[in-house]
Structure 1
Amino acid sequence: MKIVNSCIYLLISVLSAQISAQVQDSVLTKEEVVARALESNYGIEIANNQVEIAENNQSILNSGYLPSLLGVAGANYDLNNRTTEPEDGDILEQRGLENNSYNASLNLSYTLFDGLGRFYNFKSLKEQYNLSQLEARETIENTMLQLLSIYYEIARLTENIQVLEETLEVSKERVLRAQYQFDYGQTNNLAVLNARVDVNNDSVILIDTRQQLANSKRDLNVLLNREISAIDFAVDTTVNFIPELQVENFLSTAEANNVSLLQIERNIAISEYDIKISRSRYLPAIGLNGSYGWNRNRSAATAFFPGSTTITDGLSAGVSLNWAIFDGGQTAVQVQNAKINYANQELIREQIELEVERDIANALNNFKNKLYIFRIQEENVATNLDNFERSREEFSLGQIASIEFRQAQVNLLNARTSLNLAKYDAKLAELQLLQLTGQLLNVEL
């Protein structure tokens, strides 16, 4: 039994030394975490790349407004044998007759009018770019919420470890006191055994919490694209809440800032342009074309004609009109489907508006409840701390039994860990509310 206790004490000493070393480690602030995530998080990088693709798509180079210039060149070579048999006369045989030709041209084409299809397509591409920015913002918001959830979990576990260390120290003092009392015949060996059991239990809880802390730090490193084993850092455990008046202001502008509502507005605009793009096929398309060509042909001599070389070059230009007077009803079907899709987007908007209103109401109520619980837990800690100090004094005077003191110690431990949980639960509830009101990226964390 003494050997086991000695091993436990040694393990706790090593853990305490590691904790002390971590306290001296650099503090990774929330601002640094967010900046690192914006720079290195894989999901955010992918979202930014999608925005870049959409930006390229909405460029004038992808609009159809610029002309196209096509260069064409070619060469042909023929090597033939020819036999000529006139009705009267000798047969003429020719071997190795060579013919070759070369050509080159520049062809310019430009669409003057296409029923306004490219005009509305260009506007649609710009709306798709705006939509991609909102999608990237949504990715960033979700990543930030996940990131801060893990960050605050690290902070909670860090504070819990501090509480558990203090609890363990009190339990170890109790073991020494029980041992002295047993040595002087003031108590039996059962009190010493009970005190040692409590030390063992407190040690196991501390070890388990430290493992949870290490795991959470690795989770944070994954989101930050950092070395997984780099867990020798501390976090800021300071928590500040948004003033109530500021929260009210955020709620009043939630409809204009919620990313889901902004996305559906962009989708509706794109659907409206899709209708106009489909209708453009009812109108004719007018185009210009021009070309400059050069050709060189060299033919071998025949029995009746000598060989010759012909070179031609010149310009040509024209105007074209294309009008699908009837295309079998394909355009009519496309217009009808585009209108149905537009109607669906309107229905989706109504659904999202209701869902966002519900989510904000739930998040607001949840935040208020979590904040209220946090205030109650603060009072609960103060009460249990007072009770613990009184019990500690009475225990030292021998007025209460060891089991009663242990109960006061456990009550204080539970109250302090519950306070830590309530504090960070309230902060996460606030972050969820800020995300729904579209302010998560606009406030100081």
Structure 2
Amino acid sequence: MNRYIILVLMLFCAGSLSAQKDLNLAQAIEIGLEKNYNIQIIRQSEKIADLNNTWGNAGQYPKLEFNFRSSNKKDYNESDDFIQNSLTPSIDLSWTLFDGFAVRIRKDKFNDLAALSKGNTIVAVESQIQLIILAYYKALMEQERLGVSKTIKELSEDRYGNEKVASELGTKGSYELLLAKNAFLEDKSNYLTQQVNYNNAVRDLNFLLGVEESTKYIFTDDFMTQVMDYRLADLLDKMFANNNNLKNRYMQEAIQKRDIEMARSNYYPRVSLGAGVQGNQFIQKHDVAPKIDTKSHNLYANLSLNYLIFNGNANRRALQIAKIEEEISKIQTDDFKHSLTNTLAQNFELYQLRKELLDLAEENKLATEINMQLSKEKYESGSINSFNYRDVQISYQNASLARLSAIFNLIQSKTNLVRMTGGILSEF
């Protein structure tokens, strides 16, 4: 019977492990960019901008229409009632030959809008990659924290077991046993809480990836990052050259210039062509007189020129407003560059600080780990009491958790720097 239960448990564990998927950071990013809903929506918006970017939408080509008009009339009078029908089909072509270069200006603006849409997609992809990176390493950190909590729980469990044996043998009193039990229960509670934290971190990652929230993984990347020696001047050069948010600001300035050009085009004359063919059929039926049925058709081609002389200075105001809006756009760009520079300097300094904090955390964790090993031997030999041993355990736990937080903070700062300097797409 016991063998049967063990076999069932082994099969259950094997099934649980097989349901987990290996996942590294590159795979997570690939899945997230493919399935994330926000990215899908932004890519659809990019398609709309591409569809609008045509010469036809800019007004380059003529417009051809088929028109049909029917007129019917019944006339009652004293001498002779009659019915009158008139049918007028036509094919009409209208073509603006010149409108102050507005067609070319509109097409250039559509080009800029399409480029801006692609730029917005790139920014959204960068943002999504950054979120996935942090969510992936957050899950790794919570997994490592779970390992630390498990280690502390097992040590407390061993200590509690030793205290129970000693109490049964009468070598120690119930006070030490209660202290050991309280410590074990506290550590077990922390371990269970950390399991929930880890599961929530995985759910957050699954949400960003656009997959089922219950999906489980075996994370194959190490919870560590390569420490880089950055120079602020180099980072600034890269940011001004490659930051995609800044590129979008420049594109918005270009679009504003198109509005100025469009406002200037209103000062030019308009030349348009109208041509077509029209048919006419006139039918008149009298009660007394003979029926009248006449058919005709005509061709026409008209060239018109329109030049606006005065409209209450509306064109002048439109041009002045466009120029003011261009100045506003330039000011906004300068403000954005200033903000980026300030943020980059802060992130750079924070990265330098977090590098040093990680070194300190590594040293502290190593020291507390050695101290805990020595204290465990001393506690088992009776050289130190349970109070001292518990203090050492807590110090080791705090140092281990602080080290994990220091690693994650450094990853976060590095990711911010890489994204601000436009390298997140190439590096990840």
Q: Same fold (TM over 0.5)?
A: yes
Distance in 2 between the 1:99 and 1:358 partners?
Answer: 81
Aligned counterpart, 2:281: 296
Unaligned 5+ segments in structure 1 are 1-13, 85-92
Please state how far the C-alpha of 1:58 moved relative to its aligned partner. Answer: 1.7
Alignment pair present for 1:38 and 2:36: no
1:28 is aligned, of 18, 23, 31, to 23
**Aligned residue in 2 for 1:58:** 53
Task: Find the aligned partners of 1:327 and 1:135 in 2 and give their Cα distance.
Answer: 39
Give the whole-Å Cα distance in 2 for the aligned partners of 1:104 and 1:375: 86
Q: Which residue of the partner structure matches residue 183 of structure 2?
A: 198
Q: Structure 2: which amino acid aligns with 1:351? A: D
Aligned residues of 1:250 and 1:439 also touching (Cα < 8 A): no
Amino acid at match of 1:41: N
Aligned to 1:235: 219
Amino acid at match of 1:297: F
Per the TM alignment, residue 415 of structure 1 is displaced from its structure 2 partner at its CA by 1.0
Q: CA deviation at 1:199?
A: 0.9
Counterpart among 405, 409, 413 of residue 393 in structure 2: 409
**1:275: how far off?**
0.9
- Which segment is superposed worse, 250-259 or 420-429? 250-259
1:350 is aligned, of 334, 338, 344, to 334
Matched AA of 1:185: G
How far apart are 1:218 and its partner, in Å?
2.1
Give the corresponding residue for 1:7: none
Q: Give the TM-score taking structure 2 as reference length.
A: 0.91
The TM-score, its normalising length taken from structure 1, stands at: 0.88
Alpha-carbon distance in structure 2 between the residues aligned to 1:262 and 1:220: 29
Question: 1:207 aligned to 2:192?
Answer: yes
Q: Paired residue for 2:135? A: 150
For residues 67-98 of structure 1, what are the alpha-carbon distances to aligned partners after superposition, in whole Å with 9 as ceiling and x for unaligned? 111111133334444421xxxxxxxx54xx43
- 1:18-167 equivalences under 5 Å are 21=16, 25-84=20-79, 94=81, 97-167=82-152
**Large movers: runs of 4+ above 6 Å:** 17-20, 245-248
Distance in 1 of aligned mates of 2:425 and 2:26: 12
Could you tell me how far apart the structure 1 residues matched to 2:359 and 2:321 are? 56
Map of 1:176 onto structure 2: 161
Aligned length: 417
From 249, 253, 266, the counterpart of 2:251 = 266
Q: CA deviation at 1:23?
A: 9.7
- Counterpart CA distance in 1 for 2:123 and 2:272 is 43
Change (3 A) 1:240 1:18: farther
CA RMSD of aligned residues (A): 2.3
Code of the aligned partner of 2:70: A
Deviation track 1:360-400 (CA, whole Å, cap 9, x = no partner) reads 11111111211221122111111111111110111111111
Deviation at 1:212, TM superposition (A): 1.6
CA displacement, residues 24-44 of structure 1 (integer Å, 9 cap, x when unaligned): 822222222211221221221
- Determine the C-alpha separation between the residues in 1 that align with 2:336 and 2:260: 23
Cα deviations across residues 78-130 of structure 1 (Å, max 9, x unaligned)? 4444421xxxxxxxx54xx4332322111111111101122112111211111
Aligned with residue 280 of structure 1, among 245, 265, 272 = 265
For residues 23 and 342 of structure 1, the distance between their equivalents in structure 2, rounded to whole angstroms, comes to 60
Match of 2:3 in 1: none
Aligned pair 1:423/2:396, yes or no?
no
Unaligned ranges ≥5, structure 2: 1-8
